[in-house]
Structure 1
Amino acid sequence: MSNKQQVKCDGRPNGCRNCERLQLECVAGDGSTMLAGSRTSSSPISLRKIRTYRSCQSCRLSKTKCNGDRPKCSRCSAKLIQCVYDGCAAPRWTRNLNKVEARSVEEEEDDEDEDDDDDDGKGGKEEVGSSPAGREEMATSAVPTVPTVPINPDDSHPSVRAASLKFTDEVHEKSPVLSDAASMSVAASSSLSGPNGQVASHPLAWNLRRVVEQYFTNLHPLRCFAFVHKPSFMRQLDKGLSSDDESALLHIICAHGAKFLVLTAGLGDSSAPLSLWKNAGNQWAKRAEYLMLANFGRISVQRLMTAILLHDFHFRLGEYGQALMISGLAVRMAQALKINTEYNADILCTQGDAAAPSVASRESRRRLMWACYVLDAWAGSGVDQLTLLRENDIKIQLPSNERNFGLRIPTVTETLGVGHVLQFLPPAVVPRRPAANMGIMAYYIRVVALWKRIVRYVNHLHAGPPPWQPDSAFAALDADMHLWRRELPDFVDYTTETIYARLDSNQLGALVLIHCTYHHNYLELYKLTMPDLFKLPKPFVFPPEHQGFLQRAQANCYYHAHQIADILAEAAEHGSRILSDSLLPFFVYDSSRVMLYYVARLLDPSRPDAEAKMRDGVKAVESNNRVLRMMSALFPIAQSL
């Protein structure tokens, strides 16, 4: 055993292997010495052939021997995938050994010639940048860093990352683009998680930024998810994460973005494995959930954002139990934060109060509250006993349009009631048309509020006048639906010009959703005309003298079901990512049921156009089936519908 280095000796004559591998002098028990490297070449090239200290992530996770070549190993070069290393070419302890060995050599030179030592002036000390590994470490340390937050050790479990690389190897043989996306997902994971199990906030790798951009492109515009102010969020990423709440929000954003990254890379191809999309981002979502629930008594805006996005993540995967529990947590957070009321009466932020929230923060809080309202409405299925939020308790205005939100322009909009503004606003600050400051999100919130009223009416059919009477709740709801459609501005209308304009601004998915929701509301309203189909507990009996009203309502129900099929068929031509809202599979299912029931049970075969209408209905149902097959890559529930 060497006295200097304390290397365990394996007892091999003429020098042990351990000393030979480390290129040290082997001191035998009798005091004799032998240069262990004399048996083989002691050059760095020879040492490299003996052992590779660092394997790339791809080789390590696939349990394949890596030759350690940089910047790309031979396996990654052959497979044309991204090659990522966790650290330097050699671990720190090898550099320490090199330093000690260098000092030993210099001490021997000092004994022989002290003048040469004075000329060198190094005193046996080696600088960090004197070796290739040291130069790499110096270059890494020169990059600005920010405080980090600890990450759950389970995130880097070998089985998790091995599964990711398994997907990479499977997909590579079928689609080079998918292979690149899968390998990028692994690289992005390493950029989020540092070598010591930490979340590196800055600088963000380019591939991680691509994941974040996928979220803002695909999920952010849907429903009321646009509560994150993108410019502020990206600036915070550059500046650095300062809390677990911000880290949790980043993780769930990346979890959603990872799925869309795989989807846009070509998962629509039937040859691609669905398991790749299903597992993309799951570990990031688990980390976000861990950070949120680890100290769930602490409430913040970022935690509420994380809860809402986690709810949608679970709902997309068909994990409805988890989604239901998180929905309750999100609503209670919103109530604790008191974001159901305006911060103060200074809506336009003209008072210059430094302690007050900024324009972007105020609008973000409003959008967050409305997101909770929509989440609570869908989670409770419109049933009063299951919902926790009431419209009368939300005393804030509707969200402004995306342009004003992005540019931090304070505006006055209407409230949930059409034509109404906040009562405490002075007339001088109210514009002539407050509705001009609203966008798709505001009109979507109103159509969801109408849906809640319709469901409440259908569940209590016998509480008021019969539906054919003008003063009935049915007539009032039908009039409100027509009013919503009439108040819809041109830029939210479903026309060819609007379709391509929204496609250019990544809002076509939101446009499709709002119009499908509108037509689905009519399916809910006309349920009372098809009691056998919808299994109503207390069906309404229509007398013979009102059969004309019944037949017109049934025909209208068929019309709106057909409209859903037409809208989704046209949207599918622009790619499956346009169909990425998790409610659309249920809309498609109800649309097909209504059309099949109408042509099979309600359509009068003696009508002149009966055969043509039947063919048209069957064709629309077949189109819905194709759309559901496209959605099966997005939602597991679509496979069973």
Structure 2
Amino acid sequence: MTEALRPLRPLQVSGDLHDPQSPQIKPGPISKPVSVLDPLKKRAICSQCRIRKVRCDGRPDICQNCDRLGFECSFQQAPGKSPGQYVVKLPERRRRMQACIPCHSKKTRCLGELPSCSSCVRRNRVCTYPRTKRQGSTARGHDFAEGSNADDRSVERVGTASPGQDIGMVGATEGSALDYETTMGLMEDYFQHLYPLPSFSFLHKATVLQRCRDQTMNETLKLAICAITALQLQRTSLCHDLWVQQAEQSILQQIGRASIFHLQALLLVIRYRIESGEFPTAFMLAALAARTALALRLNYERPELSDVAQEARRRLFWALYLLDDFFCVGLREFELCPEETIHLQLPCDEEHFEAGRHIHTGLLRPGLGSSEHVTDIGLRGIFLRLTSVRRAVMRFNRRVGLGEELSSTIGSSIQRFEEELESLKSALRPSDQYSVLNLTSCQWQAQFLMLHTSWHQCHCDLYRLGLDGYSEAAPSPVLIAIRLRNRIAMQVKCFEHAESIIRIISDFSNHGDSACFLERDAAVCAFESARLVMFGSRIPGATSTLDVAINKAKLSLNLITRFFPYSASTQPLRKDLERLIASYSVRLALQTQETLSEPDPPPSARPSTKVSQYASSRQRLSVQSLLLQSDFVDDSNEIAGPPPPPPTNSQAVSIPEPTNPISNNTSNIPKNQGWGVGGQTNSANGQIPTAGFSLDAGQEDAGLIFNPWMGFTGTEDMYGASGRPPGLDDEF
């Protein structure tokens, strides 16, 4: 038997139930639909609730919100004053954002402590609070304490956007907007300090500065240029963290609308993230930049455009091509711009670009294009060709390390690279050949230095395969197959080119422009040459003694410390080189290598479970690799849910130790071979120690130091003689 349902009461209309004139609806059964509210009559909302964007109950005299918070309600009108004559008094702001600029840009929790928040103190970074209306300028923690009750309001851009602005630009924090004088000053600084570098030369100076003066420049690009310039010049008083965040958000909000101005800004944002140590963000944004470039067809020529527009497009794409050196380290799977997809000529010299003249410079690889006469290649074009050859050398070294290169073809491959490098050198104009006079008289000293150090470093990468005992030498079976005479010749050439890099660094330190900026590859070449020179001093018959080699290595360290004091991407190089020099100095103090006992090996650990083991062996990222420092973790194990709880003591069973696929096949792995992501093979047990080790001179031949450009070679017997599972492509 079902119980009868009680009829529902109709809703009561708003009004005072004690008012005799107010309509009363008594409870009872519903006989017919009752109109609860008049759909044509809207509820009254006071001005305070409308401004605060909260729900107003419309109570006469004073609404419930204003009564509770103590605000002056617009319903409290003087008799005889019409509603339109009421003057609204803005309510007091009860809550405010207290996040500092670093926490706000990184989207981390900030408690707003003064003078510095706990998050910045824990991460050892400068804590800076945004400008406020009362302060009028950016304040660090100790300055902010004087006006800690100031508001931090955000201002939304309203109205129609000008042609130089972006539709949908995010609101800027009050006080962080760029004024005209600051913008023009940073623009001039960009073209004076950053534009000479290969990765920053894609903007046309005259056009950009004119648009800045006319205030018609793309807002996102303007923010990106000013942000990267302020960061590189360490203008800590400026809100460059907020500028780059606004530029990045504007690009992401318009991700479906490809724009060459947004791509220019995106490349600068990526460089900002790299230099500030945000490698995971930079790595992901780099993929977006590559997609945008392909969507705009920047890898093809556009003859119908003006000469300035064509050259600006070319330089933008070549800057994206150079970005590969930060992450892909010669690995096909991480390449943004594969060379077979590039159908552009090389960039021209600056005087032609500024004058808007078209000059035919040829393609990236001379044998890939037509046989047209090349007028002038210039420093920038030769540097790009050298970059291509250097990446080919890295891929060749990887094949040798994995046992994929036949011993009989190694000699011919090395000879082919030698001929290609010599051809590049002969293509240089007499004024671009290296000499101290050409270095001091060159207008683009940074480009000049990077070209010649990279040319010598390419030889070092090629010849270090023959350095028996070096961490990046060829596997022992390969070395045995090379004639002793050829191995000795490779060693001599390797040390000669390393000495040449040190000499160029010394000349630049003594005669070069101390105010110019350098790119990270200059630090990589300095780091690698110092390692080779110190390692070469241990070999019998070395040209440099240990004390001389240490002094030469200190020249490289001085270059890194002097020109990269704040760069997060080069800090590992500086710290590792400092530890390595200290270790060799201990050897020098003990006077002889025989009296020095070898240090205990670092604690071993199991192979990293963050990535696939086969990916570890194939990729062989170096400790200094920015991709490795990004610390991406494969969380695929979470797909199947949380792991089962461990058994209790009563249920404990004996579980066999998991088999290490590496240690079961280490009989043919040379002791100087390393493999894996984030670690190095321990020659004793075939396991990978943790990445947090200290560099030591005694561990150099154990493979504990890695090339930041090349990485380190992998085991050739990981998957049999071929070095890879059957069926996979050679260009994996």
TM-score norm. by structure 1 comes to: 0.60
From 250, 258, 264, give the equivalent of 1:299: 258
Are the equivalent residues in 2 in contact too, given 1:360–1:408 (CA < 8 A)? yes
Give 1:288 shift. 1.7
State whether structure 2 residue 524 is matched by structure 1 residue 524. no
* CA pair 259-498 structure 1, distance change in 2 beyond 3 A: farther
Does structure 1 retain, via aligned residues, the 8 Å contact 2:407–2:481? no
Q: For 1:288 and 1:576, locate their aligned partners in 2 and report how far apart those are by CA, in whole Å.
A: 31
2:575 aligned partner: 640
**Aligned pair in 2 of structure 1 residues 294, 377: CA closer, same or farther (>3 Å)?**
same
Q: Distance in 1 between matches of 2:481 and 2:165?
A: 73
Q: Is the 8 A contact 2:533 2:549 kept in 1?
A: yes
Q: How far does residue 373 in structure 1 lie from its aligned partner after superposition? A: 1.8
2:296 pairs, out of 337, 348, 351, with: 337
1:27-46 equivalences in 2 (<5 Å): none
Aligned equivalent of 1:558, options 485, 495, 500: 495
**1:151–1:382 Cα change, 3 Å:** same
Contact 1:468 1:549 in 2 (8 A): no
Q: Give the CA deviation at 1:490.
A: 2.1
Which among 337, 356, 360 is matched to residue 389 of structure 1? 337
Shift of 1:625: 2.0
Other-structure match for 2:554: 622
Does 1:317 pair with 2:276? Answer: yes
Paired AA for residue 585 in structure 1: A
1:155–1:287: 8 Å Cα contact kept in structure 2? Answer: no
Structure 2 residue 219 is matched with structure 1 residue 247: yes
Partner of 1:587: 525
From 355, 359, 363, give the equivalent of 1:415: 363
Aligned pairs for 1:421-460 within 5 A:
422=370, 432=373, 434-436=374-376, 438-460=377-399
Evaluate the alpha carbon distance shift between residue 553 and residue 466 of structure 1 in structure 2; reply closer, same or farther with a 3 A threshold: same
2:413 alignment partner in structure 1: 473
Structure 1 CA distance, aligned partners of 2:287 and 2:204? Answer: 24
| Residues in 2 aligned to 1:536 and 1:381: alpha-carbon distance in whole angstroms | 18
Distance in 2 between residues matched to 1:490 and 1:381, nearest whole Å: 32
1:238 counterpart = 2:213: yes
- Give yes or no for contact 1:397–1:416 (8 Å, CA) kept in 2: yes
Task: State how far apart, in whole Å, the 1-side matches of 2:356 and 2:380 are.
Answer: 17
Amino acid in structure 1 at the alignment position of 2:225: I
Do the aligned residues in 2 keep the contact of 1:305 with 1:368 (CA within 8 Å)? yes
Give the secondary structure class of the aligned counterpart of 2:323: helix
After superposition, give the CA deviation of every residue in 1:363-385 in whole Å (9 maximum; x if it has no partner). Answer: 11111122222223542111122
Distance in 1, matches of 2:203 and 2:281, equals 23
Change (3 A) 1:306 1:588: same
1:147–1:365 CA distance, 2 compared to 1 (3 A): closer
- Aligned equivalents of 1:222, 1:491: Cα separation in 2: 19
CA–CA separation in structure 2 for the residues paired with 1:221 and 1:59: 30
Q: Does 1:379 align with 2:354?
A: no
Equivalent in the alignment of 1:542 = 479
2:316 maps to 368
SS of the aligned residue for 1:578 comes to coil
Are the equivalent residues in 1 in contact too, given 2:464–2:472 (CA < 8 A)? no
* Cα gap change, 1:229 to 1:147, in 2 (>3 Å): closer
In the TM superposition, residue 240 of structure 1 has moved relative to its aligned partner by 2.5
Aligned partner (choices 391, 398, 418) of residue 346 of structure 2: 398
TM-superposed deviation, 1:281: 2.8
| Residues 74-113 of structure 1 mapped to structure 2, 5 A cutoff | none
1:442 and 1:212 map into 2 onto residues whose CA distance is 25
- How many pairs were matched up? 423
Query: 1:545/1:390 Cα in 2 relative to 1: closer, same or farther (>3 Å)?
Result: closer
Q: Is the 8 A contact 1:414 1:420 kept in 2?
A: no
Counterpart of 2:189 (choices 195, 211, 214) is 214
Deviates more, 1:55-64 or 1:614-623: 55-64
- Which of 49, 57, 61 matches 2:136? 57
Q: How far off is 1:403 after superposition?
A: 0.8
Contact 1:316 1:635 in 2 (8 A): yes
Alpha-carbon shift at residue 333 of structure 1 (Å)? 1.2
Q: Which moved more, 1:414-423 or 1:509-518?
A: 414-423
- SS of corresponding position for 1:634: coil
SS at match of 2:407: coil
Provide closer, same or farther for how the CA distance between residues 406 and 565 of structure 1 changes in structure 2, counting only shifts above 3 A.
same
- Displacement of 1:564 in angstroms is 2.1
Q: Write out aligned runs for 1:135-214 (5 A).
A: 152-153=170-171, 155-156=173-174, 190=177, 192=178, 204-205=180-181, 207-214=182-189
In the superposition, the TM-score normalised over structure 2's length comes to 0.53
User: Is residue 497 of structure 2 the alignment partner of residue 497 of structure 1?
Assistant: no
Letter in 1 for 2:314: R
Residues 467/613 of structure 1: CA separation in 2 closer, same or farther (3 Å cut): farther
In the TM superposition, residue 593 of structure 1 has moved relative to its aligned partner by 1.5
CA separation in 2, counterparts of 1:314 and 1:58? Answer: 24
The answer to whether the Cα contact below 8 Å between 2:445 and 2:513 also exists between their aligned partners in 1 is: no
SS of 1:586's partner is: helix
Can you list the C-alpha shifts for 1:124-177, whole angstroms capped at 9, x where unaligned? xxxxxxxxxxxxxxxxxxxxx9876676446448xxxxxxxxxxxxxxxxxxxx
| Larger helix proportion of the pair | 1
Q: Is the 8 A contact 1:468 1:546 kept in 2?
A: no
In structure 1, C-alpha distance between the alignment counterparts of 2:138 and 2:268, rounded to whole Å: 33
Q: Of 241, 248, 253, which aligns to 1:282?
A: 241
- C-alpha spacing 1:281/1:583, structure 2 compared with 1 (3 Å): farther
Measure the CA separation in 2 of the matches of 1:260 and 1:58: 21
C-alpha displacement of 1:532: 4.4
CA distance in 1, matches of 2:522, 2:193: 15
**In 2 relative to 1, CA 286–540 (structure 1 residues): closer, same or farther, beyond 3 Å?**
farther
Distance 1:633 1:575 in 2: 17
Counterpart of 1:380 in structure 2: which amino acid? Answer: C
> Cα distance 1:634–1:378, how it changes in 2: closer, same or farther (>3 A)?
same
Contact 2:263 2:289 (C-alpha < 8 Å) held by counterparts: yes
CA distance in 1, matches of 2:435, 2:415: 28
SS at match of 2:483: helix
Aligned partners of 2:239 and 2:382: how far apart in 1? 32
Q: Is the 8 A contact 1:458 1:527 kept in 2?
A: no
- Superposition RMSD on alpha carbons, in Å? 3.2
Aligned CA distance change for structure 1 residues 565 and 540 (closer, same or farther; 3 Å)? farther
Provide the C-alpha distance between the structure 2 equivalents of 1:518 and 1:311, rounded to a whole number of angstroms.
26
Q: Output the amino acid matched with 2:309.
A: S
DSSP-derived class of the 2:211 partner: helix
2:537 alignment partner, SS class: helix
Q: Which amino acid aligns with 2:382?
A: Y
| Partner Cα distance (2:229, 2:519) in 1 | 14
**Any conservation in 2 of the 1:440–1:492 contact (CA below 8 Å)?**
yes
Counterpart Cα distance in 1 of 2:301 and 2:208: 22
Identity among equivalent pairs (%)? 20
Matched AA of 1:565: I
**CA separation in 1, counterparts of 2:239 and 2:486?**
51
Does the CA-based 8 Å contact 1:227-1:364 persist in structure 2? yes
